[in-house]
Structure 1
Amino acid sequence: MRAVTVRPGAKDSVEVGEVPDPVPADGDLLVDALAVGVCGTDKEIARGEYGTAPPGGERLVLGHESLGRVRQAPPGSGFSAGDLVAGVVRRPDPEPCGACARGEFDMCRNGRYTERGIKELDGYGSEAWRVEAEYAVKLEPHLDRVGVLMEPTTVVAKAWEQVERVGARSWFEPQRVLVTGAGPIGLLATLLGIQRGLEVHVLDRVTEGPKPGLVRDLGATYHAKDIEQVISAVCPDIVIEATGANEPVLASLTGTAPYGVVCLTGVSPSGRRATVDAGAVNREIVLQNDAVVGSVNANLRHYRQAADALAEADPAWLERVITRRVPLERAAEAFREQPDDVKVVIEF
């Protein structure tokens, strides 16, 4: 069968090639792929900056944002042929730390976890794949065109859970949210904020293309002004930071209303320096009882939360988030950015 593979550490080594057909072990689902999403992590791996092949192998099958249809399911697994499913990305370490042992493998303490399509495990970017039943999550049938957004939705489902858990340290009734960045993570964070009945504002640099309309059609407010102006005008109770860029990160730390919560989800590149008045940042956070939390990856609980959020969303809006669909034979094109890209997927 065909798969999208890369040689980790080698720049521009993405290719579509033949790999062995999957052989399910006891308790596994056999799944026919429908699509995989391409995100910043995939592009970093394609540039040779990241990624690890399975032990003893030279190439890694890409694809951690999965969507497929079950071909075979073991009896008693809770799945049946024809079910729409996504596969979980991370697996706990072999000698689990306390977090992994309790199912919180997104919070692994020792770094010995593995990840499909990223770290030591082949991904879901092949015409068929196997997945342990306990690491598969079912989606509603009507999401067959957009369920590939499941994994990025898990990231923001966890981010919202973290915000709400931090807020619950005391009385917490947030009203205004600022989401920085209108890429897939920012848009899906906005969706979940709107589903919570909050007033959501979104900041991005562009004034044209699909992003402003996607934000406004959710009922949120789109801004393309200076971050300092926007955060001063909005005075958010919550900031979901989804850019990783210096200015919005630093402005978010000191720009919330008192007792605000900032959740950082954007991964910043190294080497971008900024001059910061650390004393002023510290003073603001301490005197306002603010909290800052970083969030990445997701566990099974967040996958189920994401499945519920997508089931509740307007499929037509979700369809618009996917701005480019690339057939498997031209998969390399999915890693080359185009001006109006939001989410790019490879279709099987």
Structure 2
Amino acid sequence: MRALTVRPGEKGSLEVRDVPDPVPAAGELLVQGLAVGVCGTDKEIVQGEYGWAPAEREWLVLGHESLGRVRQAPPGSDFTAGDLVAGVVRRPDPEPCGACARGEFDMCRNGRYTERGIKSIDGFGAQTWCVEADYAVKLAPHLERAGVLLEPTSVVAKAWEQVERVGARSWFEPRRVLVTGAGPIGLLAALLGAQRGLEVHVLDRVTEGTKPALVRDLGATYHAGDVEQVITGVCPDVVIEATGANEVVLTSLTGTAPYGVVCLTGVSPTGRRTTVDGGAINREIVLQNDAVVGSVNANLRHYHQAADALAQADLSSLERMITRRVPLERAMEAFSPQQDDVKVVIEL
């Protein structure tokens, strides 16, 4: 079969190659791959900046945003042939920390976790793949064209869970949320905010094209103005920050209503220095009882929350988030950005 592979640490090593057909172990599903999404982590791996190959070889099958159809399921599992599924990315470390031992492997404290398509385990970028039944999530049948959004939606589901848990330290009934960034994470964060009945605002740089229209279709208000003016005008109870841009992050920290929660999901580049008034930031957060929390990855319950959210969402809006589909044999094209890209997927 054909698979998308890379040699981690080696820039320019991305290739589509023949690899052996997988044989499911006990308790594993055999899955026909349908699609994998491309995100910033994949691009870092392709650039040689990140990633680990399995211990026994130099190359890694890429792809952690998965979608497939079950061809064979183990007896006694909750799956049958024909089910639409996605695979969970992270696995607990072999000598689990306290979090991993309790199923909270997204919160691993010793860093010895592994991840499909990223760290030490082959990903889902292959025409056929296997996954343990305990790490597979079933999707609604109508999501065949949009179910590849499950993994990024799981990241957003966790972010919302973190916001709600932090807010629950006292009375908390948020009304307005500002999502910064209208990429896949930002749009999906807006979707989950709208599903919660909140007044949703989305801030991005572009003034026309796909993103503003998608935001409106999600029932949210789109903004493309000055960051400080937008945040001041909205005065959100919650900020889901999905850009990682220094100015946006720093402005978000002091821009919420009192007792606000800022959830940082965007990963900032290093080496870019900004002069800030740290005392003013600290004063605002302390005197307003504000909270700031970072959130990344997801565990099994977040995948199930994400599957429920996608099943309830407007299908046409989900499908329009996928702005480009590239066949496996031309996978390199998926890593060259084009104007109006939101989510690019590789069809297997």
Deviations 1:220-253 (A, max 9, x none): 0000001100000000000000000001100000
Q: Distance in 2 between matches of 1:57 and 1:181?
A: 38
Aligned to 2:163: 163
> 1:282 and 2:285 equivalent?
no
Q: Distance in 2 between matches of 1:168 and 1:275?
A: 33
SS at match of 1:34: strand
Q: Distance in 2 between matches of 1:269 and 1:330?
A: 29
The residue identity in structure 2 corresponding to 1:254 is: T
> 1:53 and 2:53 equivalent?
yes
Q: Distance in 2 between matches of 1:64 and 1:289?
A: 37
The residue identity in structure 2 corresponding to 1:71 is: R
**Shift, 1:13, TM fit:** 1.2
Aligned to 2:188: 188
Q: Distance in 1 between matches of 2:336 and 2:91?
A: 29
Q: Distance in 2 between matches of 1:14 and 1:42?
A: 11
Aligned to 2:142: 142
**Shift, 1:123, TM fit:** 0.1
SS at match of 1:93: coil
With normalisation by structure 2, the TM-score equals 1.00
Unaligned runs of 5+ in 2: none
SS at match of 1:255: coil
With normalisation by structure 1, the TM-score equals 1.00
Aligned to 1:116: 116
Aligned to 1:39: 39
The percentage of counterpart residues that share the same residue type is 83
Q: Distance in 1 between matches of 2:302 and 2:218?
A: 22
Q: Distance in 2 between matches of 1:53 and 1:20?
A: 17
**Shift, 1:202, TM fit:** 0.3
Q: Distance in 2 between matches of 1:117 and 1:218?
A: 31
Q: Distance in 1 between matches of 2:317 and 2:216?
A: 11
What does residue range 1-348 of structure 1 map to in structure 2 within 5 Å?
1-348=1-348
Runs of 4+ in 1 over 4 A off after TM superposition: none
SS at match of 1:29: strand
The residue identity in structure 2 corresponding to 1:108 is: C
**Shift, 1:12, TM fit:** 1.7
Q: Distance in 1 between matches of 2:282 and 2:238?
A: 18
**Shift, 1:56, TM fit:** 2.0
**Shift, 1:208, TM fit:** 1.6
The residue identity in structure 1 corresponding to 2:241 is: E
The residue identity in structure 2 corresponding to 1:133 is: A
**Shift, 1:74, TM fit:** 0.6
SS at match of 2:254: helix
SS at match of 2:209: coil
Could you say what the CA RMSD is over the residues aligned between the two structures, in angstroms? 0.5
Q: Distance in 2 between matches of 1:129 and 1:217?
A: 35
SS at match of 1:58: coil
SS at match of 1:333: helix
Unaligned runs of 5+ in 1: none
The residue identity in structure 1 corresponding to 2:177 is: V
Q: Distance in 2 between matches of 1:13 and 1:251?
A: 39
Aligned residues: 348
Deviations 1:7-47 (A, max 9, x none): 11111211100111111100000000000000000000000
SS at match of 2:177: strand
SS at match of 2:222: strand
